[in-house]
Amino acid sequence: MTISGNEYGFWIDEEGELEQLIADISSGTDIKREPIYSKQGMTRNGTDDLQGSYIEVSLENQHLWLYKDGALITETDIISGLPEDDRETYRGAWPIAYKASPFTLSSDVYGYEVPVDYWMPFVYGQGLHDADWQPEFGGDLYKTRGSYGCINLPETQTKLISETIEGGYPIIIY
């Protein structure tokens, strides 16, 4: 699977790395160091920036899986963004920016102000949060009850996810 819109992972700062390489070579000494990064994921082992710890979201299946250290912690049905311009959930790989509990979601553009118990934003004002106004989750509900791009979850699942992850945790949405 190819994920576009990737903003998660380790990105080398090419200018900074070039300067450091020149300085390292000029010093004439053996040096072992990490590259200079412009952006860093949570962990890496040289081949995998996820190492079995990530949130996976299938918009087609309206389902979320949470993995930690290679183990499935939980999975749940979701409601994503309404499939219309300006309301669809962004696809890509993102870091969870931070966690807040409680939090008030608001938008001057769409005219709402809604308190939630758990908020975990990932990109452009979209995030994971509980949605007590949704009577159920999954299936085709997003086509009529879809959000403004956020991923709506049952509160028990949102609580578990919030307690399991930290800021920087990767989320992959496809």
The CATH number for 64's domain is 2.40.440.10
The count of structural domains within the chain is: 1
Do 117 and 159 form a contact (C-beta atoms < 8 A)? Answer: yes
In a domain, 47, yes or no: no
- Tell me the pLDDT band of 111, cut-offs 50, 70 and 90: confident
| Res 109: pLDDT | 85
Do 88 and 173 form a contact (C-beta atoms < 8 A)? Answer: no
Instruction: Specify the 3-state DSSP secondary structure of 22.
Output: helix
What one-character-per-residue DSSP string does 81-99 give? B-SSTTTSPPPEEEE----
State pTM to two decimals.
0.83
Tokens read off for 95: 């870091």
Q: How many CB atoms lie within 10 A of CB 85?
A: 6
Is the per-residue pLDDT at 44 higher than 90?
Answer: no
In a domain, 91, yes or no: yes
Backbone phi, psi, residue 21, to 5°: -60, -45
